[in-house]
Amino acid sequence: MKRFKEKLVEFMSGRYGMDQLYYAMLLLALGIMMVNMKVDNLILMILSDGIILLMILRSFSRNISKRARENGKFLKIWNPVKRNVRIFIRRIKEIRVYRYRKCPNCKKTLQLPIKRGKNTVKCPKCQEKFNVRVIL
């Protein structure tokens, strides 16, 4: 077992290894596989196998700078998505306490305690006053 571990470390030295894109591809491939358990489609099977193959080839790659650039491109798209998902989840959790509205003047998102009906809100950033309607 120890020899195997040493050999693996030796094999992976100078190779790229895993990054965020690796895990994203893994999750994507697993997701496709789960869907494919229901629909049993050949194209989906080829697609998920292709993603896994590509994922493994990337991790074994010796062209580290190129792989890092790929990961950087992926993160550029993924990070804003992740941020929006986090904000969305937070708003759902706080739905009984706060409402969020954008200031029409400076576009800052304001966290407002729930006051049902029509209210006038003053933006703390730009002092603009605007109406907010909270129905539920």
| Contact stretch for Zn ion (CB under 5 A) within 6-14, 20-28, 112-120, 126-134 | 126-134
Q: If you ran DSSP here, which 8-state letter would residue 63 be given?
A: -
In whole angstroms, how close is the CB of 102 to Zn ion at the nearest point? Answer: 9
- To the nearest 5 percent, what fractions of the chain are helix, strand and coil? 60, 15, 25
Q: Nearest CA to 70 among 14, 12, 9, 16?
A: 16
The one among 41, 79, 105, 131 contacting Zn ion by CB under 5 A: 105
Least distance in angstroms from the C-beta of 126 to Zn ion: 3
The nearest distance, CB 120 to Zn ion, in angstroms, is 13
d(CA 60, CA 17): 6
Which residue's CB is nearer to Zn ion, number 25 or number 103? 103
Report in angstroms how near the CB of residue 100 gets to Zn ion at its nearest.
13
Q: Does residue 66 bind Zn ion (CB under 5 A)?
A: no
Residue ranges in contact with Zn ion by CB under 5 A: 103, 105-106, 123, 125-126, 128
